[in-house]
């Protein structure tokens, strides 16, 4: 049975030997769908350890891998899950969230006017004062100098053609795009479940 005290009380935990400084709060669980693909890439589906343990006891997920550290209650010791898989398949959403990170990712972290990877900002292709909306189709990554130069004009008015017309990407398109841009922190037990082409530091 689920031990409520496990998550409701202040949890003590054994500090893992190799990594004593890390706090339990930095032990999120990677959440996989029932087909063992990540529930979401952007943002990466991560649950706080409390949520993960609760889901384990509610039998909604299975533990795939665990951290070294444990949580304790008076009646139970348990390793903190690092990877969990849903028992019931959830249909992934077709479109990713409209976030700053995802717009940068769609645009490969490069200015859509000159290609620069530096000082990136967001440009309203059709300026807001001309009725331009803040949408996938009207926001493009632009470096600060290009953004300034373009000012309140359309690309045609400014004679600054876009490299690519902005689109609303599908989750799949963004995932493909994202292979070269993994998040900064990936726990080693997550690697087998993610498809970022990256060599992680050890």
Residues forming the site for Zn ion (CB under 5 A)? 111, 113-114, 116, 143, 146
Minimum separation from the CB atom of position 176 to Zn ion (A): 24
Minimum separation from the CB atom of position 147 to Zn ion (A): 8
d(CA 22, CA 27): 9
Name residue 73's beta-bridge partners. 76
Looking at the Cβ atoms of 24 and 103, the one nearer to Zn ion is 103
Looking at the Cβ atoms of 9 and 157, the one nearer to Zn ion is 157
Looking at the Cβ atoms of 84 and 142, the one nearer to Zn ion is 142
**Which 3 state secondary structure label does DSSP give 95?**
coil
Distances in whole angstroms, Cα of residue 191 to Cα of each of 83, 85, 154, 182, 187: 10, 14, 43, 11, 7
* DSSP states of 133-173: -SSGGGEEEEEHHHHHHHTTS-HHHHT---SS------HHH
Minimum separation from the CB atom of position 133 to Zn ion (A): 22
Looking at the Cβ atoms of 13 and 113, the one nearer to Zn ion is 113
Minimum separation from the CB atom of position 122 to Zn ion (A): 12
């Amino acid at each position: 049975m689920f031990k409520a005290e496990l998550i409701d009380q202040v949890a003590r935990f054994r500090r893992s030997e190799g990594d004593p400084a890390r706090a339990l709060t930095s032990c999120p669980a990677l959440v996989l769908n029932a087909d063992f693909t990540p529930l979401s890439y952007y943002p990466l589906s991560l649950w706080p350890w409390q949520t993960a343990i609760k889901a384990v006891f509610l039998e909604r997920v299975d533990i795939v891998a665990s951290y070294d550290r444990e949580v304790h209650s008076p009646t139970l010791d348990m390793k903190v899950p690092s990877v969990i898989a849903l028992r019931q398949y959830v249909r992934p959403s077709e479109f990713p969230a409209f976030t700053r990170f995802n717009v940068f990712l769609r645009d490969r972290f490069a200015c859509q006017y000159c290609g620069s990877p530096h000082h990136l900002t967001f440009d309203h292709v059709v300026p807001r004062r001309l009725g331009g909306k803040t949408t996938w189709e009207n926001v493009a990554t632009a470096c600060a100098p290009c953004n300034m130069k373009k000012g309140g004009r359309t690309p045609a008015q400014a004679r600054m053609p876009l490299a690519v017309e902005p689109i609303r990407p599908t989750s799949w398109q963004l995932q493909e795009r994202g292979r070269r841009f993994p998040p900064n922190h990936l726990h080693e037990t997550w690697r087998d479940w993610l498809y970022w082409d990256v060599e992680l530091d050890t």
